[in-house]
Structure 1
């Protein structure tokens, strides 16, 4: 029995005003509930714009975006977003930064504060809940940003290269945190990255984007769960090489005229 998609993109197009070509040029993709999909691509390929369309932060010029079968008309409470930078408020504690999405709607309840505390504890920051961002490391700030995106228990988490500025070891730790939290909450995730190894480690499926088009989408041939040591196994390297070849081929190919399928 086929798994019903939770996020659906059909023929999605978007062009920034004044640009000569579409930034997102007719993308079809679907993401089942609880799955993690990664979107790979070089800088400027349109992957961040596609993520903002999926978040309802931009409206498509053409095509349809649906969340659980319902057309997306703007930001949805069922969707959490993690930006490239943590974007924490300097004057708030880590706990209050996590609670910010709740505070913008209403006064947080004791249950909200308990959930925020639990999220911070799950990320190893339970003892640092009272610290302000200036007293946190880069990895700790990223963990707070991820907890903030999860505070409303969203069904879908959208992440825009959130670990790109971190050192390799911290990045791997945060990847494991993300996998663990999504699995425990049944949260689906669409993760944008330019790091092939990151996409292979995180994703159930990986898409490759080039010149605004989705030029490849396929399953990652690795089992779940993925222990950290899998990064050094031959199957992991083979999956990375295959995606690199697809990206190189997409970069070498001439862009098709606007309006034609890739």
Structure 2
């Protein structure tokens, strides 16, 4: 895959439209958006706004009816290489250990090597599961299963990580811990991330930039003016509350036309 000359356009979504049925309504309706190499962007919106569909288009799992998606300068015509995907549920295989679940993307292509197993063990250690490599999913908590899923998405050394509300079902404290794990891993590896969420505080905490989506369109996009790395206690600072409030107002503005028409 060729390297893009413009780091601001590592992921470029260009005038993309997508319909599930020919002649039907556009689920994604004329979206333009770019993600810089190594940046974390969050896509925020209510359920049904089209954000998961846009994530699948960014992955090459769906192809646009109009427009195009480029990753590192290459137009996607199918699943993008060097991209990791973390789904809403961990989707671990019950009969495999945590280590073998992490290795699964490699196992589907070839027999994992000793170096692969060492890399998987290193990833499990980075997410705090060094002592759980031999455990099966039934013996892991929900948060531990989500950590395995993140490690699995990183095993191939992706340049881009796509995450579809992966922490939504977890308790608040575990969710905060996993957010910190994700930020640390992306910074350590220089991995860009596109994170879909309906949680305003999560978007503010994770994102270098946040876009608000409503009715298939991007209705607001802007940077998050908070320090990197995120300092302890940031969630309780006035600046964090102000950023959350501004995004809530942006969501309300974007939804207002639809609500008036309802």
Same fold (TM over 0.5): yes
What's the counterpart of residue 23 of structure 1? Answer: 27
Aligned to 1:106: 110
TM-score (norm 2): 0.95
* Alignment of 1:196 onto 2:203: no
What is the CA RMSD across the aligned residues, in angstroms?
Answer: 1.3
Q: Is the 8 A contact 1:77 1:152 kept in 2?
A: no
Q: How far did 1:19 drift?
A: 7.0
Q: Does 1:225 align with 2:229?
A: yes
1:10 Cα deviation from its structure 2 partner = 0.2
* SS at structure 2 position matched to 1:25: strand
Superposed displacement of residue 92, structure 1: 0.2
Which residue is 1:8 aligned to? 12
1:166 aligns to what SS in structure 2? coil
- Give the distance between the partners of 2:59 and 2:177, measured in 1 at CA: 26
In the alignment, the residues of structure 2 paired with residue 165 and residue 74 of structure 1 have an alpha-carbon distance, to the nearest angstrom, of 30
Q: Once the 2 structures are TM-superposed, how far is the Cα of residue 2 of structure 1 from its aligned partner?
A: 6.8
1:245 is matched with which residue: 228, 243, 249? Answer: 249
User: How many angstroms does 1:87 deviate by?
Assistant: 0.3
CA contact (8 A) 1:86 1:142 kept: yes
Q: Is the 8 A contact 1:93 1:129 kept in 2?
A: yes
Deviations 1:14-61 (A, max 9, x none): 001167310000100000110000000000000000000001111111
C-alpha contact (below 8 Å) 1:47/1:209 kept by paired residues: yes
Select 1:166's aligned residue among 164, 170, 178.
Answer: 170
The residue that corresponds to 1:63 in the other structure is 67
Partner residue of 1:216 out of 210, 213, 220: 220
Q: Secondary structure at the match of 2:233?
A: helix
Q: Do residues 77 (structure 1) and 77 (structure 2) align?
A: no
Quick check: 1:144 aligned with 2:148?
yes
1:253 to partner: Cα distance? 1.7
Any idea what the Cα deviations from partners look like across 1:65-108, whole Å, max 9, x if unmatched? 00100011111221100000000000000000000000000000
Counterpart check, 1:235 vs 2:234: no
